[in-house]
Amino acid sequence: MTEIRNIAIIAHVDHGKTTLVDRILHQVKLFRENQEVQELFLDNNDLERERGITILSKNVSVRYKDTKINIIDTPGHSDFGGEVERVLNMANGVLLIVDAFEGPMPQTRFVLQKAIELGLKPMVVVNKVDKENCTPDIAQEKVFDLMFSLDATEEQLDFPTVYGSAKAGWMGPDWQTPTEDVVYLLDQILEHIPASTPKDGTLQMRITSLDYSSYTGRIAVGKVTRGELVPGSRVSLVKRDGSIVKTVAKECYLFEGLGKEKTKDSIPSGEICAVMGLEGFDIGDTVADAEEPEGLTPIQVDEPTMSMTFVSNNSPFFGRDGKFVTSRQVRDRLFKETEKNLALRVEETNSADSFLVYGRGILHLSILIETMRREGYELQVGQPQVIVKEIDGKKCEPIESLTVQVPDEFSGKVIELVTARKGEISNIEVKDERAHLEFFVPSRGLIGLRNQMLTATEGEAIMAHRLKGYEPWKGELGVKRSGALISLEKGTAIAYSIDKMQDRGRFFVEPGEEVYAGQVIGEYTRQDDLTINIIRTKKMSNMRSSGADEKTAIAPAIKFSLEEAMEYIRNDEYIEITPHFMRIRKIHLDEHERKRRAKAISE
């Protein structure tokens, strides 16, 4: 019988995790010699490829020396913690990849902490040892210190270390002598990661992730922890609340290479499989014996820390660009997302076309919005709000542990920016003219910080943060955004008008773009808002000027990414998002209505 090793891969964003998996797949000759292979095939949706991050965890398997190794890819970003916690439940050990130059980063700590709490055996890969000025030995020591600070056991601290370069395609015991390939790494996995041992007893399989097929519907993915799963047999679903539903495991699939293969044989405990035909299941449910069902403990997921209002599009340009524009379509899509996105919650509000969506951070929510716009949805979103709790009668807010790496000359600017947002310095280290700064800062203080940080440090800052916990409310932040330039009328932006208004502020729209009344078209130089008309053309008369018309020299318009816009808007603004356009607008488009409401609030 083939031995099974289930191994989860942990790494900070951009430390080479997906590239290393590519190398392993090439090593075991998963592809024919003449087969054309794209790079980074684990990042298989467009968003993951564009951003270079892993969002959804995925499974691939390789066979090496009569052993089947199931490799589970995990997201490195703490906004996707919901994904991480589930998939670690399927693993016997973890492969921790760290950059030889940067060492372990805060996001790595987040996933590693979960793995150590679950008692998984770690193995360390120090990657990118061919980088200039890198210090692989120090990176390895930092990993040891990190594991020690996370209360790892003696056995976990006695971890094997492999050095190499995934990009160059080699792994070995020593970083100064490159080897031919990644065989050494595979041998170490077989030697140090414990095999899945079959457990006798009645069937138990916890559903840890979902797949979807347009032909067969929802597919349950998980590891058989006890007994064996027989395809086509009757089973019980033990729900989170303890209720039991009888159903049938119609078809079972095993992960082979990059795909799934249907199997007629019973699936032993320790193996990861996909089951089709189950009805009414959710993530965290247990597939158990039909006669004597016993449930496993449901998965606990960290609470959301941020909320946003999602509203169906009601702007003057509604329905021009998208396929799905009604509030019912937006509602159905959001509730469908909660089935597989564990860390997301959706609540209906008093208004039929408005929904409150709770998530783990700006990136978590922006990935959902970006996915919806690519599917053809039109929607509007409000300003992100942190979730405030009352603990022991005190108003508390989420606090983040923030680390910033910058050249030492910019450290003063960074400290000034963060402390203005109620941040507290917890540690400062300077080495080789690079400063490593650690802060505790309220989650709401991070909104809009990245742009200012990159501007102040000339693009040199490397920022990372993770949730520390809830602490008493820190008071108002000392951060004010300039006012907005608002369009007075609907029409096409004219170069002549924009040129004449350039002294009022910076524009977000270019000549020829269509705008509507109430749309935010730029940033005013002062704190209050200003309504202007940029669709006015030059009046022609038969009087000739003495000189020729002066040429218009218009500064390029500022174009926001979705995350930048989410961090930029104020609480009286929405971002209108359609498949091809993104506009910032006032919630109340009519100028008199805005003034009346502002007056009512001030009174």
> Can you say which residues are annotated as belonging to the binding site for GTP?
14-19, 127-130
Alpha helix (H) ranges present in 285-376?
A: 327-340, 362-374
| One-letter-per-residue 3-state SS of 469-528 | EEEECCCCCCCCCCCEEEECCCEECCHHHHHHHHHHEEECCCCCCEECCCEEEEEECCCC
Amino acid letter at 351? S
Cα 596 from Cα 603, distance rounded (Å): 11
Burial class (CB in 10 A: 0-12, 13-18, 19+), 84: buried
Of 166, 74, 177, which Cα lies nearest the Cα of 128? 166
Dump the DSSP string for 36-102: ---S-TTS-SHHHHHHT---S-EEEEEEETTEEEEEEE---SGGGHHHHHHHHTT-SEEEEEEETTT
Whole-angstrom Cα distance, residue 229 to residue 316?
56
Phi, psi torsion values for 495, nearest 5 degrees: -60, -40
595: tokens are 């003034």
Burial class, 506, CB count within 10 angstroms (exposed 0-12 / middle 13-18 / buried 19+): middle
Secondary structure (3-state) at 107: helix
Binding site, by residue number, is: 14-19, 127-130
Torsion of CA 76, 80, 86, 88, to 10 degrees: 10
CA–CA separation, 289 vs 293, rounded Å? 5
Q: Which residues, 6 or more positions from 587, have their beta carbon under 8 angstroms from its beta carbon?
A: 382, 572, 573, 574
Beta bridge partners of 212: 218
Q: How many CA atoms lie within 13 A of 95 on its CB side?
A: 29
User: For residue 515, what are the β-bridge partners?
Assistant: 491
- Structural contact between residues 4 and 68, judged by C-beta atoms closer than 8 angstroms: yes
Helix ranges restricted to H, 258-354: 327-340
Distance of CA 448 to the CA centre of its chain: 17
How far apart CA 428 and CA 142 sit, in angstroms, is: 16
Structure tokens given for 494? 């004219």
* Cα dihedral 492, 493, 497, 503 in deg (nearest 10): 160
Chain mean position to CA 111: 13
The DSSP element (H or E) to which 224 belongs, if any, is strand 217-226
